Amino acid sequence: MRNIWIVAITVAVAVVVSAAYHSFFGASPGAQLSVSPPAHAADAVANPEIGPEDRVLGDESARVTILEYSSLTCPHCARFHAEGYRHLKSAYIDTGKVKLVFRDFPLDGLALRAAALAECVPAERYFPFLQLLFEGQKGWARSDNPAAELVRLGQLAGLSEARAVDCIQNEAGLEKIIQERLTGQEDYKIDSTPSFIIDGRKHPGALTADELDEILAPLLG
């Protein structure tokens, strides 16, 4: 198996954030250099295949599937989850029209470990925990000790301190998330966060409520 740290550094270089991987415990929000472009004419990509390990929010029989690639330290992703996501959930997910599949696309070492922590949270708490991470992003990601903050948040989600620490350090778990990111790059040409795959089209950027309505109306009409 490839050494996880070599893989992590390779991924980080690809997005010009390699410095963030050299020191998780000293990670600075300044290491987050992602640029999320505004939504534009969507690029055609393959329709996603939903696997048994995917975390899905909504009715499995919903007519439309949205695949979201986000980084937990990405401010554009946090903005989407503070605005567009709320509309998406209330108007489309909770009404059974759309299901959302969340996949990690970590842009730095801190996002990688936050994603690993979220993977350890019980399934029924996974999406609320993601929302907690996005809503509190400025607090934990800019903390003097982000590792300790992540462990504290993990405990709020029902993990023991020892379990939370193990989750953010477990090489197999970290490798799995890195592979998820690489699959996003290879299969869907993901190059910024957040990015969404909807009906075989890639939509980059923090989609607004109006943009979501415009995209989803013809698919649900």
* 213 domain residue, yes or no: yes
pLDDT, mean of residues 131-144: 96
CATH of the domain at 154: 3.40.30.10
Q: pLDDT class for 53, splitting at 50, 70, 90?
A: confident
Residue 76's contacts (CB-CB under 8 Å, 6 or more residues apart) are 34, 36, 193, 194, 205, 206
- What's the confidence (pLDDT) of residue 52? 84
* 47 domain residue, yes or no: yes
CA distance 43 to 35: 18
* 120 domain residue, yes or no: yes
CA distance 169 to 25: 12
* Lowest-pLDDT range of 24-38, 40-54, 148-162: 24-38
> Which residue in 36, 58, 61 sits closest to 196, CA to CA?
36
CA distance 18 to 104: 18
* 198 domain residue, yes or no: yes
Residue 37 has pLDDT above 90, yes or no: no
Number of compact structural domains in the chain: 1
Q: Kindly tell me the burial class for residue 148, based on how many C-beta atoms sit within 10 Å of its own C-beta (0-12, 13-18, 19 or more).
A: middle
Model-wide pTM > 0.75: yes
Domain containing residue 9: 4-24+34-220
* 75 domain residue, yes or no: yes
* 105 domain residue, yes or no: yes
Residue 9 has pLDDT above 60, yes or no: no
* 108 domain residue, yes or no: yes
Q: What angle do CA 119, 124, 125 make, to 5 degrees?
A: 60
Share of the chain above pLDDT 70, in %: 79
Residue 4 has pLDDT above 50, yes or no: no
* 29 domain residue, yes or no: no
